[in-house]
Amino acid sequence: NAGVMQNPRHLVRRRGQEARLRCSPMKGHSHVYWYRQLPEEGLKFMVYLQKENIIDESGMPKERFSAKFPKEGPSILRIQQVVRGDSAAYFCASSAADTQYFGPGTRLTVL
């Protein structure tokens, strides 16, 4: 089992561009979580998805951010019109039940 995969590992965008972050959960896992880590801080929950459903998006910013987990393919975290404050490490985790397994993260840098 390859574990949770995230790509790209590093992403550079200019202000106003779009960022798409991908997460492939572990085989057999149907729950996906996205977290954001700002410098010098812990991970902050953003959204929890199951296949084709958003279960809890209480941690998502109200604008520019969206997430999906389609029936086929990876989960996508989409950030439109990025700003410098979006620069962070974005982690995805997946679970079959309770324990969450984390991916290596995507480090987004907004110039």
**Site residues, other proteins (CB under 8 A):** 3-4, 31, 33, 35, 40-45, 48, 50, 55-56, 58-59, 91, 93, 95, 98-105
Q: Which is nearer to other proteins, 6 or 82 (CB)?
A: 6
For 81, list phi and psi in degrees, rounded to 5: 45, 60
Comparing CA positions, the residue from 81, 38, 75 lying closest to residue 57 is 75
Contact (Cβ atoms closer than 8 angstroms) between residue 26 and residue 1:
yes
Q: How far is the CB of 43 from other proteins (least distance, A)?
A: 4
Q: How far is the CB of 16 from other proteins (least distance, A)?
A: 30
Strand partners, 45: 35
